[in-house]
Amino acid sequence: LIVVTQKDVRIEIINEALGFLNERELQPRTIRWKNQLLLLTNRNLSSTDLDRLNDLGVVERIVSPTQKAQLASRDFQTDGSVVKVGNVSIGSQRLVVVAGPCSVESRQQLLQVAHLAKRLGASMLRGGAFKPRTSPYEFQGLGETALRLLAEAREETGLPVVTEVLEPGNVDLVAKYADMLQVGARNMQNFSLLRAVGKSKMPVLLKRGMMATIDEWLQAAEYVLVEGNHNVVLCERGIRTFEKVTRNTLDLSAVPVLRRLTHLPVLVDPSHATGSRDLIAPMAKAAVGAGADGLMIEVHPNPDSALSDSAQQLDLGQFATLMEEIESFSSVAGRRLR
């Protein structure tokens, strides 16, 4: 349960309320949410508990969300959140396209993609510096060298940068160079990482775990939110099913379902969802139709030589065609690309 406290309430009164809620074993915690102070409890209050809080004069509004992810819920915030990443607003009328290579491999590779992405109307640049690879023998990313290149590409193009952080100990390092921290599918329930990116207060892109239900995903987002970091964007990237033709199964119904359940913006990543170049355009268009706030697309100057995810990266010409196609779809969906 969420108690939105009154604006001018004194700290001693808040402490008294916390003491009382502690006695009642409601595990209370306070968090700053934009310009408000919230009191959160682990379960609903009885009417006598509520009377006590009202008597103390702390209550402006009580929210008892129907879901476990309280701060993420529409019950708590009816308006859709807009997450600002540099000069880009995710969750606005502009369809956000995050484009870039799976992994940053070289200066030339990254800058070539970054300049093209900028020219074609993409709003953000992606590129892996620390790669979560299935095998320890596969390319693990260039680490800080890649982060420096991403920062350089941002200076040259003005595109804000998102890149994955794999472990809590690297949050500060990645935050030094990037504009948004990505928590990947394999780490969606790495709770210490979620707490760490929450504490950083940086914008966070939280990808759906490959075996995660929507409910589990939203509770993972809640770990970030409850640290007082409201800059969370969700990214549907396909889930594991029995189907083997595609790398994953893109759960597009997640987009309108999330719209109903949460105020957080939603992106769709058809690259990791399908694993196959030729399926990206149709699924990207479908995602726009389903109401996604944006797309994440892997682009590489020479996909066949890519050090990771070779089969699913678009080359520069294919990406240009995709952007053209998406433009008309976005206007039908009530969005603009540029």
CB of 16 to ligand PEP, least distance (A): 45
Cα separation of the two ends of the chain: 40
Q: Per CB under 5 A, which of residues 167..206 are in contact with Mn ion?
A: none
For ligand PEP, give the closer residue by CB, 184 or 265: 184
Say how far apart CA 113 and CA 157 lie, in whole Å. Answer: 11
> Considering CB distances under 5 to 8 angstroms, the limit depending on partner class, which of ligand PEP, Mn ion, none binds residue 290?
none
CB of 57 to ligand PEP, least distance (A): 46
CB of 207 to ligand PEP, least distance (A): 4
> Considering CB distances under 5 to 8 angstroms, the limit depending on partner class, which of ligand PEP, Mn ion, none binds residue 227?
none
Instruction: Find residue 297's DSSP bridge partners.
Output: 99
CB of 187 to ligand PEP, least distance (A): 8
CB of 208 to ligand PEP, least distance (A): 8
> Considering CB distances under 5 to 8 angstroms, the limit depending on partner class, which of Mn ion, ligand PEP, none binds residue 293?
none
Tokens of 78: 């009816």
**Strand blocks (E) in 189-299:** 204-207, 232-236, 266-268, 294-298
For ligand PEP, give the closer residue by CB, 6 or 106: 106
Answer for the pair 58, 9: CB distance below 8 angstroms, yes or no: yes
For ligand PEP, give the closer residue by CB, 112 or 187: 187
Q: Per CB under 5 A, which of residues 263..322 are in contact with Mn ion?
A: 309
Answer for the pair 288, 262: CB distance below 8 angstroms, yes or no: no
The tokens 């969700």 sit on which residue? 234
For ligand PEP, give the closer residue by CB, 33 or 130: 130
For ligand PEP, give the closer residue by CB, 102 or 110: 102
CB of 128 to Mn ion, least distance (A): 7
Interface residue with Mn ion among 99, 102, 114, 233 (CB under 5 A) is: 102
Q: Residue 278, Cβ neighbours under 10 Å: how many?
A: 11
For ligand PEP, give the closer residue by CB, 128 or 301: 128
Say how far apart CA 37 and CA 157 lie, in whole Å. Answer: 38
Answer for the pair 232, 33: CB distance below 8 angstroms, yes or no: no
Closest listed residue to residue 59, CA positions, set 89, 20, 93: 20
At a CB cut-off of 8 Å and minimum separation 6, what does 65 contact?
A: 1, 2, 73, 75, 76
- Give residues in contact with ligand PEP (CB under 6 A): 102, 128, 132, 164, 184-186, 207, 237, 272
Residues near Mn ion (CB under 5 A) are 102, 309
